[in-house]
Amino acid sequence: MYHVYVLYSTKLDSFYKGHTSNLTQRLKRHNAGRVRYTKKGTPWRLIWSTEKETKSEAYKLEMKLKNLSRARLYGFMMKYSNGIVSLDQLLSLKQLSRSGPQKALLTKGFFCFIKKRLRKHEP
């Protein structure tokens, strides 16, 4: 089994997407500063992950995630919300959005999307 995951750094206000066969060990390596690309952003929080059968499938999904804009990444995580590590963490992404004019548009659109998703799941 391989894991595809999304990490978030409040220090850098950025996401890191990757894949691994051992998610726990990989997260420890990221937060210990032993990964070149994530060293400056510690601590990293795991906000989304999913499992894939093969390394090839995991790599393909990772590449797709890396090509998504920030707004589309939010949408993807909500669409495949079964991979969300914590709904509270995902909802806190409102505060993690970049500042400026894009922040208002992104935040408004993202939370409208969340409300629609939650309504679909109401009894």
**Spatial distance between the Cα atoms of 65 and 76, rounded to a whole number of angstroms:** 9
The pTM score is 0.73
Please write the tens of the pLDDT for every residue from 25-72: 999 999 999 999 999 999 998 989 999 999 999 999 999 999 998 888
What percentage of the chain has pLDDT greater than the value 70?
69
Q: How confident is the model at residue 85 (pLDDT cuts 50, 70, 90)?
A: confident
> Residue ranges per domain, the chain?
2-120
Cis amide bond preceding 123, omega within 30: no
Task: Give the CATH fold of the 2-120 domain.
Answer: GIY-YIG endonuclease (3.40.1440)
Position 22 confidence tier, pLDDT thresholds 50, 70, 90: very high
